[in-house]
Amino acid sequence: MDMEGLQEKLVPAFEWFHRHPELGYAEFETTARIREILAGLGVEILDTGLETGLVARIGNAGIRSGKPVVALRGDIDGLPITEDSGLPYASETPGRMHACGHDFHTTAILGAAILLAEKKATLPGTVKLIFQPAEETAGGAAKVLATGALDDVREIYGLHVSPDLPPGQIGVSPGATFAAVGGFKITIRGKGGHAGYPHLTRDPIIALGQIIATAQSIVSRNANPFDPSVVSITHVEGGNTWNVIPPEAFIEGTIRSLGTEKYKCIAERLGEIVKGVELTSGTRIDYTWNMSSPAIDNDPALAVFVADTAQELGLAAGPSIPCMGGEDFSLYQQRIKGVFWNIGIGGAEGIHHPRFIAGPAPLSSAASLLARLAEKALVRLSST
């Protein structure tokens, strides 16, 4: 199929997905539509037990045949945002919007399916197509991995739209391009009392202030200035009136770092600060942190492979723009060698904005790149 024909097929599908955004694990209509399109192409859908999202397969039998398996991943969920784009195909549901371009990713993977299905008989292996639920809530990738459907996959490829790149331009870099992301909670238990008699209390508000102030030294004094990271305190609570020292106070916030190990160091350093304040304030402090997704960790050779293949297809390719957002594609990369790149869509507003627009113009390029990468990866893997 030529690029024009492909684009003509993809635009109506994209507009349908854009009109029908659904939140993580509620992507029932979206999944039904994807199933329908794949069934029309004669593509096999695997029995994974996933309630929403799916994994499909094109090509020859899996690992037992000795032939390689690679995967292409798109995510399918929308966000709890009311769309204000003014598009003729804007969301039909108030409070739901495809504001992160997952409708674009879904359509691009379907486009790759169209191209790969045409070559099904000659593919030197199998391509698995992942339509992942619940990326925004960061649980979907783990759920797909838990099905075992990717156990035989040797390389995995994924993309994300970027409003910061011109339409159709590819941004790809080795290593961390999306941050390790997570949060922390700190509960300070002191001893409340009359504000005029502080010596009879263990003031949790002072401890809270010390933690907030000292936490700012982690990025500025402990982290390497060449390793971007963020500690943001976003929620504090303590007390409810002017003349009472409360018994408890609470802090929560987020840590982000372009490196999974660096993230852990920052989280542990915050724990040491908390311990120090606990000791000097005489309060008891509970500190917990989590990492909802590790950093994207692009395989250097595969990053070059994506840039070279994009250029072969006539697409401009440069480095990606590092992002302090998280992406649970990183969970696949902890088990499977993989690469995640950006494709430019232009546009005035950033992702997660009510006026965000992922223009459909680069859809056929995105699909061709995905299909070409899968095909070339199978050829390379079957000859080694």
For Zn ion, which stretch binds (CB under 5 A), given 19-27, 95-103, 260-268, 278-286?
Answer: 95-103
Report the C-alpha gap between 311 and 365 in whole angstroms: 11
| For Zn ion, the closer CB: 121 or 348 | 348
114 binds Zn ion, rule: CB under 5 A: no
Q: Compute φ and ψ for 79, nearest 5 degrees.
A: -125, 155
x-marked contacts with Zn ion along 161-190 as a string, rule CB under 5 A: ------------------------------
156 binds Zn ion, rule: CB under 5 A: no
Report the C-alpha gap between 171 and 147 in whole angstroms: 31
For Zn ion, which stretch binds (CB under 5 A), given 93-101, 171-179, 284-292, 359-367?
Answer: 93-101
Least Å distance, CB 327 to Zn ion, is 7
323 binds Zn ion, rule: CB under 5 A: no
138 binds Zn ion, rule: CB under 5 A: no
Least Å distance, CB 82 to Zn ion, is 16
Least Å distance, CB 214 to Zn ion, is 32
| For Zn ion, the closer CB: 163 or 238 | 163
| For Zn ion, the closer CB: 123 or 339 | 339
DSSP string, 111-149: HHHHHHHHTGGG-SSEEEEEEES-TTTT-HHHHHHHTTT
Q: Where are the alpha helices (DSSP H) in 163-299?
A: 204-217, 260-281
Element (H, E) at 251: strand 248-257
| For Zn ion, the closer CB: 124 or 350 | 350
Least Å distance, CB 329 to Zn ion, is 9
100 binds Zn ion, rule: CB under 5 A: yes
**CA angle, 86 then 92 then 94, to 5°:** 85
Q: Compute φ and ψ for 68, nearest 5 degrees.
A: -70, 160
The answer for residues whose C-beta is within 8 angstroms of residue 319's C-beta and 6 or more apart is 171, 172, 173
**CA angle, 111 then 115 then 121, to 5°:** 145
Least Å distance, CB 285 to Zn ion, is 33
The residues binding Zn ion (CB under 5 A) are 100
